[in-house]
């Protein structure tokens, strides 16, 4: 990794929703080497918000819900 990459932050942060966010987090860690930066449970067994980092990049994810917002994302 270059010095520039170490000093910069991602300017685009993808946000994803998963039916099983806990399994997705585990898979992203094992398959690609992401690291859990921040995970907030939703109180119903899912993930309200998670931040996973890889190098200077980050993705955010949460559990998908069958609510109005979730319907728009199909």
Could you report the per-residue pLDDT of 23-70, keeping only the tens digit for each? Answer: 999 999 999 999 999 999 999 999 999 999 999 999 999 999 876 655
Asked if residue 38 belongs to a domain, the reply is yes
Can you give the CATH number for the domain in which 60 is found?
A: 3.30.720.120
How far is Cα 22 from Cα 8, in angstroms, rounded to an integer? 28
> pTM here?
0.78
Asked if residue 49 belongs to a domain, the reply is yes
How far is Cα 3 from Cα 18, in angstroms, rounded to an integer? 34
Pairing state of beta strands 57-63 and 15-18?
parallel
How far is Cα 53 from Cα 68, in angstroms, rounded to an integer? 29
Number of other residues whose CB lies within 10 A of the CB of residue 21: 23
User: Which residue range forms the structural domain that includes residue 34?
Assistant: 10-72
How far is Cα 26 from Cα 24, in angstroms, rounded to an integer? 5
Asked if residue 59 belongs to a domain, the reply is yes
- At 11 the pLDDT is 81
């Amino acid at each position: 990794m270059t010095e520039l990459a170490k000093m910069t932050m991602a300017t685009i942060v993808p946000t994803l929703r998963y039916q099983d966010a806990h399994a997705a987090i585990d898979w992203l860690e094992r398959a690609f080497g992401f690291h859990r930066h921040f995970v907030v449970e939703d109180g119903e067994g899912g993930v309200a918000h998670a931040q996973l980092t890889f190098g200077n990049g980050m993705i955010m994810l949460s559990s998908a819900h069958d609510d109005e917002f979730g319907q728009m994302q199909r």
